[in-house]
A = this chain, B = another copy of it.
Amino acid sequence: VDVLLAGICNTDLELARGYYPYAGVPGHEFVGRVASSPTDPAWEGRRVVGEINAACGACEACRARRSTHCERRTVLGIKARDGCFAEALLLPLANLHAVPDSLADEQAVFAEPTAAALQVQEQVGVAPGMRVAVVGAGKLGQLVARTLALTGCDLLVVGRSRRSLDRLAGLPLQTALVTEPGPSKADLVVECTGVPEGFLLARSLVRPRGTLVLKSTHRGETRVNLSSLVVDEVTVVGSRCGPFPKALALLARNAVDTGSLVDARYPLANALDAFAHAARPGTLKVLLRPSPDDS
Residues of A within 8 A of B (CB): 19, 61, 66, 68-69, 123, 196, 199, 207-209, 214-240
Q: Is the Cβ of A217 less than 8 Å from the Cβ of B209?
A: no
Contact of A236 among B216, B223, B229, B232 (CB under 8 A): B229
Q: Is the Cβ of B239 less than 8 Å from the Cβ of A208?
A: no
Q: Is the Cβ of B224 less than 8 Å from the Cβ of A232?
A: no
Chain A contact residues, majority secondary structure: mixed
Measured between C-beta atoms, what is the minimum distance from A20 to chain B in Å? 8
Tell me the bound Cα distance from A123 to B220 in angstroms: 30
Contact of A223 among B209, B222, B230 (CB under 8 A): B222
B residues in contact with A199, CB < 8 Å: 226
Known contacts A222-B224, A224-B221, A226-B196; A232/B69 CB under 8 A: yes
B residues in contact with A239, CB < 8 Å: 230, 233
Measured between C-beta atoms, what is the minimum distance from A119 to chain B in Å? 8
Tell me the bound Cα distance from A67 to B61 in angstroms: 39
